[in-house]
Amino acid sequence: MEGARLGQSLRPQRHPKPGNRARCSEGHWPDVCDNQTTTVGLLQIACKRFANPFQSPVCDWVFYLFPVTHVTHTGAGNSCKDWVLGLQRGTIRGRRSRIPFAGCLQVSESLQNLELQQFARQKQAEERAKAARDSQERKLKEIGKESSLSYGQQLYSACVDHVADDLSAQFEAFILEPSKARKHAAALPFFDTFDGTHHIAAVALTAAIDQLSRRQRFPTFLQHLGSAIERECRLIKLGQKCPMEIRRMLRVGMSRRHISSKQVMHAMRVPVVEWNDQTRLQVGMFLSEAIFRTELLTTIKVKQGVRTPRLVVPTRQALHFIQNCRPRNYTASHLQMLIPPVEWQGLYGGGILNNDKPLIKVAVQDAAEENALDHFLAADMERAIAGVNFLQRQRLRCNAEMVAAQRLTWEGGWAGLWPCQRNPMEVPDRLEGNPTPEELKTRNRQAAAAHRDRETQRHRRVKIERSLQISEESGERDLFQAWFYDSRGRFYPHAAVNSQGTGFERAQFSFAEQLPVDTEAFEWQLKVAAGHWGMSRNTWKERLDWGRQNIDRMLAAAEDPIGKADLWRSAKDPWEFLAQCYGVRESRATGKTGVPIRLDQTCSGCGILAALTREERVGRLTNLFGRDPRDLYSVIAENTTAELTRILQTGDQRERGLAELWLKRGVDRGLVKGPVLRAPMGGSYMTLCDGLVEKLEEFVGFVDLDEYLWRISIPSKFLASILWSEMKEVIAPVMEVKAWLRSCCRPLLTQGKPMEWTSPSGWPMRVADRQPKTKRVETLLFGKRVVMSIEDQPADAPLSPTQACKALAANALHSFDAAMCQTIIYRAEEHSTPILPTHDCWAVHPANAAWLHRTLHWEFGQMFRKPQLEIMHSELEERSGVKLPAPPLINTLDPMAIGSNEYLFS
């Protein structure tokens, strides 16, 4: 499709002769052009089947029309004359003759205005991202975190090896001649707990760079270095004794400095040896000599009154380096588009206006490589490009009623509807007079809870507020989403607020085109509404019966969602249920609706693994076959509850107390869902513990640090061991796929051969992680400090099976669910069916729900009835020439039964 956009010149063209007119998808010639010629311009009509842009050189703007076919449930017009919006009824005058398009100029001006607005929105997003980066850098510099700035990180990378080598030489000299006198030898015993000299250098150099622009007095500078080493020693001890607790404290927003304080260390039962100023000074002097030898810092004398203190300042070389250091890159968070995105003709040039990024977002380590897309360029990507172009043509609309209701409930602080309250908890005033110890403890507990709430919920509050602001700005106007792929083939929209967002964001969007709702479509609305209410594991008949009985509830909720909030706010998915209420109201009032309904796969991770290995038990629990709905999460939850009940009756006193706590809280489906979902992706026992800590804190409430171990940590570890065992008991057979993938990856990458295969949809997969030429030092005080010698994974580095195996299971599994998603998008394009994907979930009009339900089950069965693991195994061996272990096929499940359960997608 040829055309012009803003800023591009397009020379005047002549009318085509009648015999050269473009033929529309139905085989008719659109009667929209006469045989006269003009040099004013040409309204070119490109009659594609589904979504057809038309372009006008009159004003150098691209015009867009939307799907027009005779397919059922697409809102099709009946003729190509309707397709061009009836513009043939009027005229505008050219230089020599008349063109039968009276409304062309007005439409041109309208679309010109939209494109100008779109450019302005993109420019504003880029300026906002740049301002946010600059603001963050100023703040980091003000609070003494210069090591986190771009120049700080580059200075760190340039100097840390030299500091580490210098320290190594001093330690070696001490070991060879321990009796020899040397400067600052008293500081040497304080480094015994460190892993090595790079660990010491990372802490010391980070502390030094943080003081780069502060012009500290020399003794103060030394004290800061010594204090950093002291705090790191404390955190090393805490990390060895309480690894789960320290991770939790970091996640809830406690700073590393606060965690290393005496109060926290005592509360966590970790002994602390407090250093004095002389000790910190000695340690600082020992480290400063190695730092000064890098020529990063120097000292100067400055006359201040009667004193002449020594100040620590950057050297001239360091200042020159800082001035020439490029600022950190920033990524703009764009909004939805006001005009259709640019169609992708290849791997470049589509999406948002003036987009310079490729269609496929490759892995981070390959982002800077020129040949990162070579295996995609060599593959047939025609269907993938057609699929993403089809998604970009979907017209969406933001429901203003929904956004208004969300705004009122957000600002009103309605409980249960949002992940956090809009207004943070207030810090209580300090107590006056002589408060009792109990009053003081209560006040301090409330203050700690308030500070924690501010730290942990800040990002959520900002995201929710920003999302509502964006949606309010959108109003009742047509919106479009630019889309791209990741390296596994998954679809992602290029918009800050999009149809793949959280529940309240998804509820805001509907299709701009409303389609007729017949009896079958209305029943789908009722069944999906019942699922959002909390009946997603019930039968279709039970959901439909509930929906029919609650039509009046849904209509009343849609009419007055604020005044009658009790009708919808207790739903499992309240915002998505309210969206279905709006859809039911529209269907009843007009016989049409654009509110989408969603169907997603039951436990997709384990379900796909069961289909790949042909494992019957897990396949039944994930509804691959059968007639009634089953639930893997509920089975594991019931088994865990039964084990806790047994322990309550037969365990010792400690075990009975812990079991009673969890039985009181309840081991429900929601508790086990996260661990089961993460298990196929590489989830570990420690991630399971972390999730249980969060759930228990929600149940118990805020807990003081001195009670944290026995009220939170110990109970979480207790249940984690039981839940981990019950999970393995059920899903262990299908988890053999992870081990098989790694056993294939290691011999291939060890021999320097990438692991390459093709997904069921034809997407080229490639695993070729290289040995990173970096030194990564984990410091507990400053986090991970990374030294880049050249680049992260340079092109000439050898392949690294260890690096590749870290994400291999997740990437391979996602390639299969992405293949399923791509296949459904292809089918939707063939039928001109508007659709919105979210990995293993798809949204369509209610009018197309029955088609989607049938297609999902049919395509899943067609895909996984084939021996996909054997196909993958054969391709890996054929491409590499290496003999690989056979895939772990269990073969207790009849492949012809896969996809036969109507609850697989519900």
Q: Kind and range of the H or E element at 457?
A: helix 437-474
Strand partners, 784: 778
Query: Residue 181: its pLDDT value, please?
Result: 86
Q: Is the pLDDT of residue 81 over 50?
A: no
Question: Under a CB-based contact definition with an 8 Å cutoff, are residues 534 and 507 in contact?
Answer: no
Residue whose pair of structure tokens reads 């949002």 in the numeric block? 418
- State whether 81 and 163 are in the same domain: no
| Average of per-residue pLDDT across 132-150 | 90
**Sequence-ordered list of residues with C-beta below 8 angstroms from that of 666, at least 6 positions apart, any chain:** none
**611 or 58, which is more confident:** 611
Using one digit for the tens of pLDDT, what is the confidence trace for 181-201? 888 888 999 999 898 899 999
Q: Which amino acid is at 827?
A: R
Query: Residue 793: its pLDDT value, please?
Result: 66
> To the nearest whole percent, how much of the chain has pLDDT over 90?
63
- State whether 158 and 96 are in the same domain: no
Query: Residue 182: its pLDDT value, please?
Result: 86
Residue whose pair of structure tokens reads 């030094």 in the numeric block? 208
Using DSSP's 3-state secondary structure scheme, residue 273 falls into coil
Using one digit for the tens of pLDDT, what is the confidence trace for 731-787? 999 999 999 999 999 999 999 999 999 999 999 999 988 887 655 566 666 665 544
Q: Is the pLDDT of residue 424 over 80?
A: yes
Q: How many helices (H) and strands (E) does the chain have?
A: 32, 22
d(CA 67, CA 108): 20
- Look up the CATH number of the domain holding residue 551: 1.10.287.280
Using DSSP's 3-state secondary structure scheme, residue 790 falls into coil
Could you tell me if residue 570 is inside a domain? Answer: yes
Q: Kind and range of the H or E element at 516?
A: strand 515-516
Using one digit for the tens of pLDDT, what is the confidence trace for 637-692? 999 999 999 999 998 999 999 999 999 999 999 999 999 988 888 888 888 888 89
Could you tell me if residue 555 is inside a domain? Answer: yes
Q: Which amino acid is at 809?
A: A
Could you tell me if residue 767 is inside a domain? Answer: no
Residue that is last in its domain, among 323, 341, 366? 323
Q: Is the pLDDT of residue 39 over 70?
A: no
- Look up the CATH number of the domain holding residue 184: 1.10.1320.10
Could you tell me if residue 214 is inside a domain? Answer: yes
Using one digit for the tens of pLDDT, what is the confidence trace for 338-354? 999 999 999 999 999 99
**Sequence-ordered list of residues with C-beta below 8 angstroms from that of 307, at least 6 positions apart, any chain:** none
d(CA 185, CA 188): 6
Question: Under a CB-based contact definition with an 8 Å cutoff, are residues 597 and 525 in contact?
Answer: yes
- State whether 637 and 573 are in the same domain: no
Residue whose pair of structure tokens reads 């043939």 in the numeric block? 88
Could you tell me if residue 558 is inside a domain? Answer: yes
Using one digit for the tens of pLDDT, what is the confidence trace for 685-710? 888 888 899 899 889 888 888 888 88
- State whether 317 and 203 are in the same domain: yes
- State whether 659 and 560 are in the same domain: no
Strand partners, 303: none
Nearest CA among 43, 46, 44, 42 for reference residue 25: 46
**Sequence-ordered list of residues with C-beta below 8 angstroms from that of 684, at least 6 positions apart, any chain:** none
Domain count, the chain: 4
- State whether 276 and 188 are in the same domain: yes
Q: 347 exposed, middle or buried (CB, 10 Å; 0-12, 13-18, 19+)?
A: middle
- State whether 177 and 106 are in the same domain: no
Could you tell me if residue 159 is inside a domain? Answer: yes
Would you say how long the chain is, in residues? 906
- State whether 166 and 310 are in the same domain: yes
- State whether 293 and 157 are in the same domain: yes
Q: Are strands 44-45 and 515-516 parallel, antiparallel or unpaired?
A: unpaired
| Average of per-residue pLDDT across 370-398 | 93
Could you tell me if residue 636 is inside a domain? Answer: yes
Query: Residue 328: its pLDDT value, please?
Result: 84
Could you tell me if residue 49 is inside a domain? Answer: yes
Return the minimum-mean-pLDDT range out of 92-106, 116-130, 332-346, 769-783: 92-106
- State whether 151 and 111 are in the same domain: no
Return the minimum-mean-pLDDT range out of 81-95, 212-226, 400-414: 81-95
249 to 274, 579, 708, 710: CA distances (angstroms) = 22, 37, 11, 15
- State whether 246 and 149 are in the same domain: yes
Query: Residue 54: its pLDDT value, please?
Result: 33
| Average of per-residue pLDDT across 420-449 | 89
Question: Under a CB-based contact definition with an 8 Å cutoff, are residues 591 and 517 in contact?
Answer: yes
Tell me the average pLDDT of the chain. 84
Helix axes 150-176, 197-210, angle to 10 degrees: 140
- State whether 112 and 168 are in the same domain: no
Q: Is the pLDDT of residue 42 over 50?
A: no
Its domain, for residue 573, covers 516-578
Using one digit for the tens of pLDDT, what is the confidence trace for 833-882? 999 999 899 999 999 999 999 999 999 999 999 999 999 999 999 999 99
Question: Under a CB-based contact definition with an 8 Å cutoff, are residues 363 and 811 in contact?
Answer: no
Residue that is last in its domain, among 274, 290, 323? 323
Q: Is the pLDDT of residue 44 over 90?
A: no
Query: Residue 56: its pLDDT value, please?
Result: 33
